Amino acid sequence: MRSLTVLYDAQCEVCRRARAWLERQAQYVPLEFVAAGSDEARARFPGLDARRTLEEVTAVGDDGAVYRSAKAWVVCLWALVDYRRLSLKLARPRLLPRAERFVARLARRRRRR
């Protein structure tokens, strides 16, 4: 994978902050950010369900691999020089379900507002 495009909810403060944080980190794999549900997102990824990308963060590799929710987070961390080790730990079978629950809870809270 040579680049990773992250579809995030540009209307959400937490998501924008997360984007800003990710952009500041040193990257093994360049990260690109596109507002979910935008015309650009639709034009570049016609195969993705736009509503779903607004509900959960989605990362798409240049190889066409689509990662959603906690997996998108793990892949974003994997793209970062200082967090790749952490991403490998998070991806272990014992931790991934917890990360998934955590991210799902965050997403629910976000939707309620």
Partner 1 sequence: MTNLIVPTYFLYLAASIALTVWVARTLHKNGRVFLLDVFGREDLADSVNHLLVVGFYLVNLGYVALALKLGYAVANVQQSVEALSLKIGWVLLVLGAMHFFNLFVFSRMRRRRQLERTPPPVAPDARLGKPAGA
Q: What contacts 93, CB < 8 A, 6 or more positions away?
A: none
Question: Which residue reads 């909810």 in tokens?
Answer: 9
Q: Is 37 helix (H, G, I), strand (E, B) or coil?
A: coil
Q: Which span sits near partner 1 by CB under 8 A: 15-23, 66-74, 103-111?
A: 66-74
Q: Is 75 helix (H, G, I), strand (E, B) or coil?
A: helix
Q: Which span sits near partner 1 by CB under 8 A: 14-22, 78-86, 101-109?
A: 78-86
- Quick check: 47 binds partner 1 (CB under 8 A)? yes
- Quick check: 98 binds partner 1 (CB under 8 A)? no
- Quick check: 95 binds partner 1 (CB under 8 A)? no
Q: Which of 100, 83, 71 is nearest to 29 (CA)?
A: 83
Residues within the interface to partner 1 (CB under 8 A)? 1, 3, 5, 28, 32, 44-45, 47-48, 60-68, 71, 74-75, 78, 84-85, 87-88, 90-91, 96
